[in-house]
Structure 1
Amino acid sequence: MNRFSRHALAPLLLLPVLVQAAAPIALDAAAQAAFGIELIAPEAVEHSLGRRYPAEVRVPNPQLRVVAARQDGVLERLAVAEGDRVAAGDLLAELRSPALVDIQRQYLEALIRLELAEGELARDRQLHREGVIAERRLREREATQRELATQVEQQRQLLRLAGFAETELAELDRNHTLTSTLSVRAPISGVVLEQLVETGESVAQAAPLYRIGQLDPLWLEIHVPLDELDGIAPGTRVQLPALAREAVVTTVGRQVHALDQGVLVRAEIGDAGTVLRPGQFIEVQLARATGAGWRLPAAALVRDGDTTLVFVARDGGFAPQPVELLGASDDQVVVGGALGAGDRVAVSGVIAIKAAWQGGE
């Protein structure tokens, strides 16, 4: 029976069994050397790497701060620039602001009125204990003191919103000295990612001055086609081939982006601030769970009709072994099938082995 009639008569589902039962291909050592046949042991794996996707490096939102001007004014000094490392509380810039003087004046006026009210309250308490004044007058004095204390706290909060540190507030309380210079300080430790203004520039309140980010960990944002999302979930490993590093998927988005019909997959990578930079694009591969499988070079695979085969070394030759393709990336594949760690699979010269096998049928 020739090969064509065998395929015509045998059901497709029995084809792997027929192939597996075929007689071994006899090739002695001399023939193997002549054909340039090389052998390799399959590597047991439970994941396969898919095709490569571009990923954008991002600073996680909780680790990013935009430092803005707290008051209108003119930038007299910029103490840091893009790329500098800063610690929380470090001076970033100095801003001269006339509006700051008015806020301090209102605070000191409220503080003085409170001090007077507290002195009068202490005196009235003494007079009430001696029976000189009525209780109603004492209660009115206490209400006035509480109202003025609230005004002082309100003005203190306005100074904090203007950028005054607690040490600067304490200095103002002691010396009552007004200043028009506002110090802008780093809210977090990190790296200056962007400088948005220049020295001498007039800025409005809330105008952004710097962007500061903490670079550990970092996010990798990947757009994966909707039809390739199978097997991707939080916890999926992400390989960075160029760096031999690994990230872990934390989020799989629910929205399909109109521009590329991709779904956002976000991964997190730690301790990478020295090798990755925000805004950088880098190629990544997602490790999909495949169950038990075997990693081989793609060159080991051959096709026989609808069946994928590898040739496994046997005494005096090779035997065709049907396998199922579970995943592929670059020049590597992951297959499932009746292979073992002790098997030796042909990875070169497979065309010659296939020709010898078909010629012997």
Structure 2
Amino acid sequence: MTLDRNQALRWSGSLFAMALAAGGTGYWIGHGGGSPAPMAASTAGGRQPLYYYDPMFPNQKFDQPGKSPFMDMQLVPKYADEGGAAGPAGVTIDPAARQSLGIRVVAAQMGSLAGTLDVTGTVDFNQRDVAIVQARSGGFVQRVYARAPGDVVRAGTPIADLLLPDWGGAQTEFLSVKRLGRPDLTAAARQRLKLMGMSDGLIAGVERSGRPNGVVTITTPISGVIQTLDARQGVTLATGQTLAQVSGLGTVWLNAAVPEARAGDVRIGQNASATLTSFPGESFAGRVIAILPTAQADSRTLTVRIELANRGGRLRPGMFANVSLGGDARPALLVPSEAVIRTGTRTLVMLAAADGRYHPAEVRAGRDAGGQTEILAGLAVGEKVVASGQFLLDSEASLTGIQVRPIGGGQ
């Protein structure tokens, strides 16, 4: 069919308008310093695309243009000569497409990173507050009181009555020497009783009564919980045999699990506070008394030991607690934690240039707190980083081979 000149012009104008409409419905993405290319076009300025791809799945390449099998959008052409000499290579996105991709840009700025470290821990006995009840002489258990492991007892609570023949014989000798009226011999005999383990109260009672007392009541020296109890009626005892073990409850230990990456933020003497679900709205103050020298291999955490006062014995070993370790806040260069890309071998951020291009930069990250990450090196105050949608840009940059700005590179 033959068209006259006017018909041909009208036909060409219609095709041009349709192409503009098709290109306007998509969004634009490219890299380099040149102008962005329309996503739906198969050629641009006579250039032949290398392949086509979906920006949401940049690793998938297609030979022909068309609609993405993954998303409801047209495939994007990739050209060999994209980029330019106007500046460093980078990923370019049309402004109209930024909202669709959810890209959000923020500036790195100086701030004060929260000095607290929030971790978890469990309450344990204070292993330094332990009393061992032993038999100071060989003998027999004459009587046991109604006690059992796990009982909470006060200081002076009787455990068992022991019949100690050696003590009875030594007391008889002491009384005989005392009747001689020789102060020096009496003092020596009294000292012998002390060396055998008799208390001053027991010796004074023997002196007052004038009769030996070979039956001794063993009591708990501290208040706490009975951990072990081996006193049984009629049992023969050897010198030094353990009858009971009592753990004090006046103070308890709180073993907090601190990630090894935050080990540098903890020091001995540091203040700490703990909250427990058992006591809502109440906080227990303590301080760090030790940082154990070994790390837990399964959780990669350090055990930080915190000592807490246990008024009324309300804190019970085994309870779970949320722990806040206080620290001094210091100025730092901060970016949102979501802007940091950790690859396992290095840490990156996507920089947003003034001309609309994006390119990766390597950084050295520090502490994280309150949704902010400290940047120790690789970034300057005021530089803009992508806080949302950065993984798409990083994939595009990796796909096109854009060089990562190293730490210490030009700002």
Aligned to 1:309: 349
Deviation, structure 1 residue 263: 12
> Residue 3 of structure 2 corresponds to which residue in structure 1?
none
**Which amino acid letter does the alignment assign opposite residue 190 of structure 2?**
E
Tell me, in whole angstroms, the C-alpha distance in 2 between the residues paired with 1:351 and 1:223. 29
Within the candidate set 358, 365, 381, 1:325 is matched to 365
Alignment match, 1:84: 151
Query: Partner amino acid for 1:45?
Result: L
Separation in structure 2 between the aligned mates of residue 27 and residue 53 of structure 1, nearest angstrom: 45
Given the alignment, which residue of 228, 253, 256 partners 1:218?
253
Give the equivalent residue in structure 2 for 1:96.
Answer: 163
What whole-Å deviation, never above 9, does each CA across 1:32-73 have from its counterpart, x for those lacking one?
A: 58849899xx994254759x8998945242x22211112222
2:284 is the alignment partner of 1:250: no
Give the counterpart of 2:173 among 98, 106, 124: 106
Partner of 1:270: helix, strand, or coil? strand
Matched, 1:334 2:373: yes
Q: Distance in 1 between matches of 2:81 and 2:150?
A: 72
TM-superposed CA distance for 1:184, in Å, is 0.7
Answer yes or no: is the 8 Å Cα contact 2:124–2:316 preserved in 1.
yes
Q: CA deviation at 1:27?
A: 6.4
For 1:24 and 1:237, locate their aligned partners in 2 and report how far apart those are by CA, in whole Å: 50
Does residue 268 (structure 1) correspond to residue 302 (structure 2)? The answer is: no
Q: Structure 2 vs 1, CA of residues 101 and 18 (structure 1 numbering), >3 Å: closer, same or farther?
A: farther
Distance 1:251 1:74 in 2: 42
1:184 correspondence with 2:218: yes
TM-score between both structures, scaled by the size of structure 1:
0.56
Residue 150 of structure 1, aligned match among 163, 166, 187: 187
Q: Is the 8 A contact 2:349 2:385 kept in 1?
A: no
The superposition leaves residues 1-27 of structure 1 with CA deviations (integer Å, 9 ceiling, x where unpaired) of 8389999x9xxxxxxx989xx999776
Aligned twin of 2:132: 66
Secondary structure of 1:109's counterpart equals: helix
SS at match of 1:70: coil
1:174 aligns with 2:233: no
How far the C-alpha of 1:196 sits from its partner, in A, is: 3.7
Question: Counterpart in 2 of 1:292?
Answer: 331
Cα 1:238–1:38 shift into 2, 3 Å: farther
- How far is 1:354 from its partner? 6.2
Report the counterpart of residue 32 of structure 2 in structure 1.
Answer: 2
Deviation at 1:193, TM superposition (A): 2.6
Aligned residues: 304
Q: TM-score, normalised by structure 2?
A: 0.51
* Residue 146 to residue 97, structure 1, CA distance change in 2 (3 Å): closer
Question: 1:287 Cα shift?
Answer: 7.9
Give the distance between the partners of 1:171 and 1:306, measured in 2 at CA: 77
- Aligned partners of 1:242, 1:26: CA distance in 2, in Å? 52
Secondary structure of residue in 1 paired with 2:140: strand
Q: State the distance in 1 between where 2:309 and 2:166 align.
A: 43
Deviations 1:185-223 (A, max 9, x none): 222222223324434322211111122222304264989
* Change in CA separation of 1:198 and 1:2 when aligned onto 2, cut-off 3 Å: farther
- Partners of 1:67 and 1:107 in 2: how far apart? 26
Please identify the structure whose Cα radius of gyration is greater.
2
Render the CA deviation track for 1:314-335: whole Å, top value 9, x for unaligned.
9xxx999986421359x96632
Name the counterpart of 1:207. 241
**Aligned-pair identity (%):** 18
Maintained 8 Å contact 1:67/1:211? yes
The answer to whether the Cα contact below 8 Å between 1:48 and 1:328 also exists between their aligned partners in 2 is no
- Letter matched to residue 166 of structure 2: A
For residues 25 and 354 of structure 1, the distance between their equivalents in structure 2, rounded to whole angstroms, comes to 13
Residues 269 and 287 of structure 2 are in contact (CA less than 8 Å); yes or no, is this contact kept in structure 1?
yes
SS in 2 for 1:187: coil
Name the counterpart of 1:126.
Answer: none
CA distance in 2 between partners of 1:180 and 1:86 (Å): 26
- 1:219 and 1:47, CA in 2 relative to 1: closer, same or farther beyond 3 A? same
CA RMSD of aligned residues (A): 6.0
Is contact 1:79-1:91 (8 Å) kept?
A: no
Contact 1:110 1:151 survives alignment (8 Å): no
Structure 1 or 2: larger helix share? Answer: 1
Q: Quick check: 98-107 or 349-358, which moved more?
A: 349-358
Check the 8 A contact 1:46/1:293 in 2, yes or no: no
Maintained 8 Å contact 2:156/2:219: yes
Change in 2 beyond 3 A, CA 1:91/1:170? same
The alignment partner of 2:245 has SS state of strand
8 Å CA contact retained: 1:55, 1:284: no
